[in-house]
A and B are shown apart, each in its own frame.
Chain A
Amino acid sequence: MTTVRGMPARNEPPGGAPQPGGWHRYLPLLLLIAAGLAAVPFAGRVVIANGNSSWTDAQGPSATALAQVESRFGRQDGFVIMVSAADVLAAPVVAWQQRLGAAVTTLPGVAGIDSLATAQDVQLDEGEPVPVALLAQPRERILAHPLYRNLLIAADGRAAGILVRLATTVDADAGIALEQRLRKLLASTPPPSGAEAVLGGLMCQQQAINRAVAADQRLTVPASLGLLALVLLSVLRDLRLAALALLAVGGALAWTFAALALAGRPVDAILGLLPPLVMGIGVATSLHLAFAMAETVSGCDPHPGRAALRRTVMPLLLATFTTMAGVGGLWWGAVPAVRDFALWGALAVLLAALWPFLLLLATAPLLPPATWTRLHDGWAGRRLGRFLGRIAGGCVRHRRWVLAGYGVAIVAGLLACSRLRVDADFVHALPADDPVRQAHAAIDSRLTGTLACDVLIDPGHAPTAADLAALATLTAALRADPGFVHVLSLTDAVELVRGGTGREALAVAADLRLFAREVHQRFVGPSLSNGPGTTLRLQARQSDGSVAEASAAARRAEAAARAAFPGATVAVASGALLLDETTGRIVPAIAQGLVVSLAANVILLLIFLRRPWLALAALPLAGLPLLFTYAALPAVDWPLDIGISMIACVALGIIMDDAIHMTYALHRHADAAEAARDIGPVLTAACLALSLAFSACAFGGFSYTRRFGVLLATAFIVGLIVNLTLAPAILRKGEKP
């Protein structure tokens, strides 16, 4: 028998010379491919969750306030149809509004509409208020109507709105269906010549985001995979090895999603972060195995496959378990969706680490030794190792400078993080040519605010004259607040009826209750506490944009209401406030989860390595890259929101993986430079592959897609730098036990 570079020509070792044999040599690989394909039909059944109910706290004050408004005055998160024309009161445009409104009312899920055609004015009949059709009134009264100007009609008569109220049964899926029906209806019932109609509203925005993300994915996912394949090919220098790494990612992804489908768990926006996590862990593990194989094959090990497994099994197991623990640490988060991510993320990490192992075992006997050793001659080979070794050695020699530099960076990072702004602006994150973004901009500028905000005040008794006076003052104050574009209350209806007659406001309000109930019921509802009192409602609208600004205005309104009605029960309901509250819960929940994750990792390292100093070293190695990445946000004026804070979960998983490998290498080698020579190239290759792959997201149209890719790529690169420079400086020489 001949030997290849001194290796025994036996048929057993992975990585040994390919031996002639029957088809059964291919059986393990075929079985693995079959297993991967078997998961695909299940994975295809995974349900995408369109709503965000798993993020929000249904018992929180904002959700409770929204429910209170809904039960008393109907839902406020419906659609807005705006028609713009030279004169929206021209007969053809009015007829179109009436026709369209009638058709909209018949759609399933529509509780009703508010439009010029349905709106009621109030006039006096023998001294008593009586509702009359708004359109029956003279043009100048309609245009200047205090209840409907800047809500249903623009003061210049060039825009009019149809507000579509939703039934309480309409959930996210029904909302999507209704939006499609409305768009179809608008297409089949076009406005008269010269007029233009647009559709907006919170549900439209949600679907626009879904569409933008889907469009981005169609572009960025193939681009990411293409870039990943290119980098893997340039590192591994073999098409088969690159294909194996991609196959490992595919198999792990298929089984992760199959498991989700089998468990009946819909994929929400947070679970949507699983694919990048799987990709990161899968690629890193594949590269670690390939580099280990290259090392043992070129080291003329008689059993290179076994030797490679021996060499990698411990750090890979450790990395897998600690990464699972890291992701699993999110289980202690306060939000159900984050807790769920902990469970599924841990499973995804396990699968992403398992698939490369299985593929290595299946394919190693099939590949010639030269396949593995080729990577040593590439850019990520030994030359890079020597270079990184020199850097690590330099860091050890100049450890004081390195540590001082990191000290300064940490202080600067903490200071920068203290300037982090928590906000979200979904409508402006959409591409500039997105129809919903344009519709919201048009509605906000020409007609009214796209977002509803309601202030509920329950003084605990029937409204008194003093209450109405306070309400009038409060209404005027909110109207002067730039955070609101339209504010209405009972006092506006009272003033409308009272005119200049000088009648008592309370008597007019009582008349409204008796004789114009529809108008009255718009502003007055049952008590918030189910007691004998009544709820006064301030109905306001806000422009779409910054959630922080909209919620700040809502909080100002709440404070003003509490000041105007001391002792009254006050609640403010707005979608912006709910989102702000949700962000306020999720961001700390993730931070808390990350702290638990890091602690769990230290404990695991202590158990496995029994070296407290080494275990503690993993803490800054995994934590600092996140700190530095998030510290960069204020510099680029990116706010922190739910999506960006969740990026930490993916980044931590992958950086933790690197940190464990680095720590273990320092554990194995007496010299830090030697450890960096050994592990540095593979860490660099994995970092580069993933950074480049995720940087493809920078071409996305949705700004959150771009931020996702850029931040992840930044976190990986910062993680690599920290691992290769700080670890040697902290651990000095990586003394062996």
Chain B
Amino acid sequence: MMRLLLAVALCATLSTVESAPLDELVLPDHRGGTCRLDGVRDRLLMYFRTGERVVAKRCDQVLAKRLGPGRPLVRVIDGREYPPEDRATLTRRIADAVGDEPVTFLLDWDGAVARRLALPEAPLLFVGIAADGRATGSTPCSFDRDSLSRVLALLPALDQTAFTADDLAIIKRSPKDARP
């Protein structure tokens, strides 16, 4: 019974979207290259504004463990708020911040992903991409167990065990982080 209630509650928080596959969509990445999104199938996509990057990074770290190496997170920065003159600087700064880490950030300057997947306005969204390339749904996320657990529900193939406080405790502050 509790499971049923939980399932109903989770369904209620997920947006129902009318989306199209991301096929043929090409986005620039932070290294200066481009990436075609044909292959994004059965994956989680994280769509976020730079103002939410700290929360996004933490969610990323927690989810990466659950997703495993076979199903890496697709990270897309919602860059609609940046005017053209700021884009090169932002790309360079992202590249500097990422350094040698094996992660890629795609840059959606004009909101093509949001349009294609019919995403609602939110600073940080997770979207489930089904095997046919269509969105299974999307959910806003903050760094807490409940919302991270809701993200799991976007891809039924994932281990749906709810996150615990210990799962979230893996986050470590960077030595460069400091409150001014």
Interface residue ranges, A against B (CB under 8 Å): 122-128, 130-132, 137, 141, 496-499, 501, 510, 513-518
State the CA gap A131–B57 with chains docked (Å): 14
A126 and B174 in contact, given A514-B89, A514-B90 (Cβ under 8 angstroms): yes
B50 lies within 8 A of A124 (CB): no
Those of B103-158 within 8 Å (CB) of chain A:
none
Chain B 155-180 near chain A by CB (<8 Å), digits 1 or 0: 00000000000000000001011111
Residue contact B90 to A130, C-beta cutoff 8 Å: no
- Cα(A130)–Cα(B51), bound, Å: 6
In the assembled complex, the Cα of A128 lies from the Cα of B86 at a distance in Å of 16
Chain B residues lying within 8 Å of A501, measured Cβ to Cβ, are 180
A515 touches B50 (CB 8 A): yes
Which of chain A's residues has its CB closest to B93's CB?
A: A514
Q: Which 8 A/B pairs are nearest by Cβ-Cβ distance?
A: A499-B180, A126-B176, A127-B176, A123-B179, A125-B54, A126-B174, A130-B54, A131-B51
Q: A126-B97, A126-B174, A128-B97 are in contact. Are A514 and B180 (CB under 8 A)?
A: no
1/0 per residue, CB under 8 A from A, across B16-51: the answer is 000000000000000000000000000000000011
Q: Does B71 contact A (CB under 8 A)?
A: no
Distance A517 CA – B176 CA, assembled complex (angstroms): 21
Partner of A125, one of B53, B86, B89: B53
**Given A125-B53, A128-B97, A131-B51, A498 contacting B174 (CB threshold 8 A):** no
- Which A residues lie within 8 Å of B50 (CB)? 514-515, 517
- CB-CB under 8 A from B179, the residues of chain A are 123-124, 137, 141
Output the least CB separation between B78 and chain A (Å).
12
With CB as the reference atom, state the residue of chain A lying closest to B178.
A124
CA–CA, A137 and B178, complex, Å: 13
A513–B89 CA distance with the chains assembled, in angstroms: 11
A591 to chain B, nearest CB (A): 50
Beta-carbon contact of B180 and A130 below 8 Å:
no
Residues of B within 8 A of A514 (CB): 50, 82, 86, 89-90, 93
**Residue picked from B89, B177, B180, most chain A C-beta under 10 Å:** B180
Whether the pair A513, B86 counts as a contact (CB closer than 8 A) is yes
Q: Identify the closest chain B residue to A521 (Cβ).
A: B81
How far is it, in angstroms, between the C-alpha of A549 and the C-alpha of B172 when the chains are bound? 54
In B47-82, which residues have CB < 8 Å from any A CB?
Answer: 50-51, 53-54, 57, 81-82
Q: Is the CB of A132 within 8 A of B54?
A: yes
Complex CA–CA separation, A501 to B81 (angstroms): 29
- Give bound CA distance, A497 to B82, whole Å: 21
Compute how far the CA of A517 lies from the CA of B80 in the bound complex, rounded to whole angstroms. Answer: 12
Residue of B nearest to A515 (CB): B50
Minimal Cβ-Cβ distance residue in A for B49: A517
The answer to whether A130 touches B53 (Cβ under 8 A) is yes
Query: Which of B57, B81, B89 lies in contact with A510, CB distance below 8 A?
Result: B89
| A128 and B82 alpha carbons, distance in the complex (Å) | 17
Known: A125-B174, A125-B177, A126-B176. A515 touches B89 (CB 8 A): no
Excluding A137-B179, A514-B93, 10 further A-B contacts by CB distance (< 8 Å) are A122-B180, A123-B180, A125-B176, A125-B177, A132-B54, A141-B179, A498-B180, A499-B180, A515-B50, A515-B53
Contact B53 A496 (CB under 8 A): no
Nearest CB of B to A106, in Å: 16
Query: What DSSP secondary structure best describes chain A's contact surface?
Result: mixed
Instruction: Report the nearest A residue to B89, measured CB to CB.
Output: A514
Closest to A499 in B: B180
Do residues A517 and B51 form an inter-chain contact, with CB atoms below 8 A? yes
Residues of chain A with a CB closer than 8 A to B53's CB: 125, 130, 515
Please give the distance in Å from B178's CB to the nearest CB on chain A. Answer: 5
Enumerate chain A residues within 8 angstroms of B86, measured Cβ to Cβ. 513-514
* Distance A141 CA – B180 CA, assembled complex (angstroms): 11
Give the Cβ gap from A351 to chain B, nearest Cβ, in Å.
58
How far, in angstroms, from A716 to B177 measured CA to CA in the complex?
A: 76
B180 engages A124 (CB within 8 Å): yes
Residues of B within 8 A of A127 (CB): 176
Specify which chain B residues have a CB less than 8 angstroms from the CB of A125 in the assembled complex: 53-54, 57, 174, 176-177
A122 to B178, CA, bound (A): 11
Q: What are 27 A-B interface contacts by the 8 Å CB criterion?
A: A122-B180, A123-B178, A123-B180, A124-B176, A124-B177, A124-B178, A125-B53, A125-B177, A126-B177, A127-B176, A128-B93, A128-B97, A130-B51, A130-B54, A141-B179, A496-B180, A497-B180, A498-B180, A499-B180, A510-B89, A513-B86, A514-B86, A514-B89, A514-B90, A514-B93, A515-B51, A517-B81
Cβ distance A50 to chain B, nearest Cβ, rounded Å: 34
Nearest residue, chain B, Cβ from A496? B180
Taking CB atoms, residues of chain B closer than 8 Å to A132 are 54
Residues of B close to A515: CB separation below 8 A: 50-51, 53, 93
CA distance A141 to B178 in the complex (A): 14
Q: How many angstroms from the CA of A137 to the CA of B179 in the assembled complex?
A: 10
Interface centre among A122, A126, A131, A517 (most CB of B within 10 A): A126
A141 closest partner in B (C-beta): B179
CA distance A132 to B54 in the complex (A): 9
Instruction: State A649–B178 Cα separation when bound (angstroms).
Output: 67
Nearest-CB residue, chain B, relative to A122: B180
Cα A518 to Cα B90 in complex, Å, equals: 16
> Chain A CB within 10 Å — which of B89, B90, B177 has the most?
B177
A123 nearest in chain B by CB position: B179
What is the bound-complex CA distance between A499 and B176, given in angstroms? Answer: 14
Smallest distance from the beta carbon of A712 to chain B beta carbons, Å? 58
State A6–B81 Cα separation when bound (angstroms): 97
State the CA gap A518–B179 with chains docked (Å). 18
A620 to chain B, nearest CB (A): 67
**How many angstroms between the C-alpha atoms of A518 and B52 in the bound complex?**
12
Chain A residues whose C-beta falls within 8 Å of the C-beta of B180 in the assembled complex: 122-124, 496-499, 501
Rounded to whole Å, the gap between the CB of A118 and the closest CB of chain B is 13
- The complex places the Cα of A122 from the Cα of B174 at a distance, in Å, of 16
A128 surroundings in chain B (CB, below 8 A): 93, 97
Separation of A503 and B15 alpha carbons in the complex (Å) = 44
CB proximity of A144 to chain B, nearest CB, Å:
13
A501 to B179, CA, bound (A): 11
A130 CB contacts on chain B under 8 angstroms: 51, 53-54
Contacts of A517 in B (CB 8 A): 50-51, 81
Nearest residue (CB) in A for B142 is A133
Nearest residue (CB) in B for A127 is B176
Chain A residues lying within 8 Å of B97, measured Cβ to Cβ, are 126, 128
List, in ascending order, chain B residues with CB within 8 A of A499's CB. Answer: 180
Cα of A132 to Cα of B123 in the assembled complex, Å: 13
Residues of chain B contacted by A518 (CB below 8 angstroms): 51
Shortest Cβ gap from A112 to chain B (Å): 14
Give, as a whole number of angstroms, the nearest-CB distance from A350 to chain B: 60
Question: How distant is the Cα of A499 from the Cα of B180 in the complex, in angstroms?
Answer: 5
CB distance from B161 to the nearest CB of A (A): 28
Q: B51, A516: Cβ atoms under 8 Å?
A: yes
State how many angstroms separate the Cβ of B116 from the closest Cβ of chain A: 24
User: Which A residue sits closest to B90, measured CB to CB?
Assistant: A514
* B177 neighbours in A (Cβ, 8 Å): 123-126
The CA-CA distance from A514 to B49 in the complex, in Å, is 11
Contacts of A496 in B (CB 8 A): 180
Cα A97 to Cα B122 with chains together (Å): 22
Closest to B174 in A: A126
A163 to B177, CA, bound (A): 31
Quote the shortest CB–CB distance from A514 to chain B (angstroms).
5
Closest residue of chain A to B175 (Cβ to Cβ) is A126
Q: Give the CA-CA distance A517 to B50 in the complex, in Å.
A: 9
Contacts of B54 in A (CB 8 A): 125, 130, 132
- Which chain A residues border B174 with CB–CB below 8 Å? 125-126
